[in-house]
Structure 1
Amino acid sequence: MNLFKDLRENYGRNAVKDLRLLENTERKISRFRCHRVFSLRAKHSGLIPTSLKLNCPINTKRARDIVNKAEKALLNERIRVVTNKIKTLEEDKIRANASLNARDINKDLSREISRHVENSRESEFQHVRARQTRKLKELAKKHEKSTSNDVNKSNSHADLDLSGTQLKRWVKNLSKYKLSDAQNSVLARGLGYAVSPDNLNQPSIVDEHIVACEKACWKLTKPEAAQLRAEIVGTLKSAKLPPSNINKDERIAIKQLQKEESIMVLGADKGRATVVMDKTEYQEKMDALLSDPKTYEKLDRDPTAKHKRELVSILQRLEKEDKIKKTDKQFLYPTSENVPRIYGSPKIHKDGTPLRPIVDFTGSIGYNVAKSLADILSPIVGQSEHHVLNSKSLAEDLKDIVLTEDEILNSHDVVALLPAPPSISLSMCSVID
């Protein structure tokens, strides 16, 4: 028996439309009920679905608590919205049933319609339930793994197992210099590890607070700036020495590494590993990079002063034309003339450990201009159809592509992508020793 054919021949096309509407409504009800069960189980298990995860832009406990609270509120809102959607669909179902019943369909055909709708509903329910069950299990595994990682991170760095295989993973010694156990241990913590000071009266610590305070005061009124300075002075005077987060041998090891002139301690290009290289090898590789005439050009003299005058002239013109405010001009005005420095980041994942050239513009005449341009351009970054966010995004885009026998997927390794388009003057960069 062909249900839709018989219904069309005996009761017209509108009857078929009513049946399709009823069938689709039942399928939607099944889907949303599964969604609601999934959300309720996630809530009771303390899980947050991936689609409701929020990125925490501030790395503090208070910020993370705020984000967690917001995620739970979003999950509750989703449950409320899905529940209301089910109620609406139930009303649609009643209307669709009423429309079919009004056509006075015979009992045999009515039983066939009921059987067909029930089969469609059950099929959709089983399919969606299996998918949601799988998603819930994967979500629970990710949560368990994340919780385990958080516990590991919360442990003291002094308790880290920095021996054997794990130590070799975090410290890559490519030099002839033999590292002591204490030096290996402190390097394994990473170059970004903040070592607690052993003396709060160090000029570097005091100067850092003074510079940060004056930068903040620049945007305040005179009374507010004076109050901030007074509070900073009071904080510095009452500050107490924090407990040491490294042992005595590691503190000595840091001083030894700082005094050792035959090696370079660098961060790996990828990952958190710390790389130790011979200084001569590092300089040879940097010289080889800078000697490439296709990428770099050597100038006869330092053009910093000339570029500064040109930048100041442009800023003055833009201010006169009311295209920038006075505060913008003050921020963009070059107050320092540091020559940008170039250094190499070792690629330990490649044969021969080549260096990735990185130019540090901090303190240069164009540093603040570059920061402002980055803020202006950031909203349009990633809007191009050719933009790839990361390797995971690329894999997602390629997973549905099927190659035929006469097709190949080709990838290219781009060398010197960033420094190649513009010519970077050697006199504008000083190699970091």
Structure 2
Amino acid sequence: MGSPVSPLTANIFMEWLEQQAILTAPLECKPRVWKRYVDDVLEIVKRDTAETLTAHLNQVDTTSSIKFTYEVEQDQQIPFLDTLIVRKPDKSIKLMVYRKKTHTDQYLSFTSHHPLHQKMGVVRTLLDRKDRIVTEEEDKIKEEAHIRQALAKCGYPKWTIDRVKKQMEEKQQRKTKKNKSTTSDQKSKGLVVIPYVAGVSERISRTLKKHDIATAMRPHSTIRKMVVHPKDKQEPVKTPNCVYEIPCGSCDLTYVGETKRTFGTRMDEHRREAEKASQQKYTRSKRKESESHFKNSAISDHVARANHIINWGEAKNLRERK
């Protein structure tokens, strides 16, 4: 089962919903097993009761913030996250790696301008997933063959997989013998982030490693930096539906307002009203009388009463109003 809302929103409701839903579920569809990760749920229910349970779950949340859908077992198997759960003829289960039908096996190309350890990390991740998920040796052999074939299409030489596999086996042996390498006790003196340049960054990294300084590499040129933005940036004065700020040039007060029209249009209106208010000449009695009347905006009121000058040059569009 799954919910179309974001994982963060789902987590807020799911703990409460789980308790209520399982407690009040009809006996004929009460789940025997309920395992959830964020908004994905694996459950075991009686045959042909998944639809009834789903309807019950959608009734528990009266706000309709979470909408449950369900997927039933097909051909004795069902996916859950990256795992394919397969029911064997003897009623036991085995686990395999699950890939969607739309999965393309496209990984970081070996010819791309990235450090070698990042490419080896792709190999390590796929092999580690195979070892952690797949439960039967025969399926592990098939999964490794699939990994080799997929990585070969991405340009990975055979030695990359063999080297990573050997490193993982050696690490497992050290872990079994409970031996710690001498470098594991050494603490790094710091981390340096450098732009990646093939052949140069590796030498710098090796030099810094001699001084117990870790190195991270990042690309200095990306496609995002090179391509033109799909949309031209809109000038602040032409932005509609915004919140804006206009400071006074004679004191510390600031006016904050919002408008559905463009920022520039509303600024011009404020400016005209303020200029009109500042041009009026008041005697002492007329100024006192004017203080009991309000102008069209707080800005023109401030100009008329305090005889201050507005700093129009520092006016700015704060944000687009949602």
**Range class of TM-score, shorter chain:** under 0.3
Give the TM-score normalised by structure 2: 0.23
Give the TM-score normalised by structure 1: 0.19
Higher relative contact order (CA 8 A, sep 6+): 1
Q: Decide which structure has greater strand share.
A: 2
Q: Decide which structure has greater helix share.
A: 1
